[in-house]
């Protein structure tokens, strides 16, 4: 079973997914982020990489992610790439992920791509107001992603916001479930967890 968690930048997708991983065992639930599949840009300098548009669908190697999801669904392990937001590039490492009953995928643009969308059994959109997201992103990117205030704001106004309006927000219509605020929405989170538990029970009883 594949659960997709989409939503604008800093809406709370990763926080929500983290809560799910804390609830379920590794054999039951595994996660894949679209972010892992940002294209590598070894041909560019660091300076050039800082200027790229990272919010356009073309900035991801979505075909590679689709292949990996299909492999996991067919019961095979994968090695996903690892991305560095500090270096704006793919690292040399990969991470082994073994197949599990539930695969959770998250990313700003995962509902925008039809082939990816069609692999999902449950489509979630984390909906958080733009001003809240900008505030969260500013704090997070300065603390965790090696940015300064000027670079976060310049990037937000030049690419993040226009791409959000063009691609992310319109993809909300494909969601089955909209969760305001993400991982700290305890009622929404509990409903989702209960739902996954029921689906796991159904999958287990189907295998007996």
Figure out which of the listed residues 4, 7, 81, 188 binds ligand ADP, where binding follows CB under 6 A: 7
All residues at 6 or more sequence positions from 193 whose CB lies less than 8 Å from its CB, including other chains: 19, 20, 23
Identify the DSSP state of 52: S
Rounded CA separation 127/172 (Å): 9
Cβ–Cβ under 8 Å, residues 181 and 129? no
Smallest gap from residue 21 Cβ to ligand ADP (A)? 12
- Minimum CB distance to ligand C5P smaller for 14 or for 113: 14
Query: What string of DSSP letters covers 177-188?
Result: EEEETSTT-HHH
Query: Helix 13-23 crosses helix 186-207 at what angle (to 10 degrees)?
Result: 50
- Minimum CB distance to ligand ADP smaller for 151 or for 199: 151
- Minimum CB distance to ligand ADP smaller for 130 or for 200: 130
- 4-43: contacts with ligand C5P (CB under 6 A): 9-10, 13-14, 35, 38
Q: Please report whether residue 140 would count as binding ligand ADP according to CB under 6 A.
A: yes
- Minimum CB distance to ligand C5P smaller for 108 or for 120: 108
Rounded CA separation 148/128 (Å): 23
When CB distances are held under 5 to 8 angstroms depending on the partner's kind, the choice from Mg ion, ligand C5P, ligand ADP, none that residue 88 binds is ligand C5P
Rounded CA separation 136/141 (Å): 8
Instruction: Please count the residues of this chain forming the interface with ligand ADP, following the rule CB under 6 A.
Output: 14
- Which of these segments, 11-19, 42-50, 76-84, 163-171, binds Mg ion (CB under 5 A)? 11-19
- 64-93: contacts with ligand C5P (CB under 6 A): 85, 88
Rounded CA separation 108/33 (Å): 10
- Which of these segments, 7-15, 92-100, 114-122, 149-157, binds ligand ADP (CB under 6 A)? 7-15
Residue with tokens 């295998």: 207
- Where helices occur in 110-185 by DSSP H, the ranges are 114-117, 130-144, 149-155, 161-163
Smallest gap from residue 48 Cβ to ligand C5P (A)? 12
Residue ranges that bind ligand ADP, judged by CB under 6 A: 7, 9-15, 136, 140, 181-184
């Amino acid at each position: 079973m594949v659960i997709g968690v989409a939503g604008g930048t800093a809406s709370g997708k990763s926080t929500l997914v983290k809560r799910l991983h804390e609830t379920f065992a590794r054999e039951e639930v595994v996660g894949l982020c679209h972010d892992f599949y940002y294209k590598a840009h070894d041909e560019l300098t660091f300076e050039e990489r800082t200027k790229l548009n990272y919010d356009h669908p073309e900035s991801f190697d979505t075909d590679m992610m689709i292949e990996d999801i299909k492999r996991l669904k067919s019961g095979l392990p994968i090695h996903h790439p690892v991305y560095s937001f500090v270096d704006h590039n793919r690292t040399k490492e990969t991470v082994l992920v073994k197949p599990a009953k539930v695969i959770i995928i998250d990313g700003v643009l995962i509902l925008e791509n039809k082939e990816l969308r069609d692999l999902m059994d449950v489509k979630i959109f984390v909906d958080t107001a733009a001003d809240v997201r900008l505030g969260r992103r500013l704090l997070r990117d300065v603390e965790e992603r090696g940015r300064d205030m000027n670079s976060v704001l310049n990037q937000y106004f030049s690419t993040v916001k226009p791409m959000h309006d063009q691609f992310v927000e319109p993809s909300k219509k494909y969601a089955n479930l909209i969760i305001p605020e993400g991982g700290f929405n305890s009622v929404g989170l509990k409903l989702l967890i209960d739902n996954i538990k029921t689906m796991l029970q159904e999958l287990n009883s189907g295998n007996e």
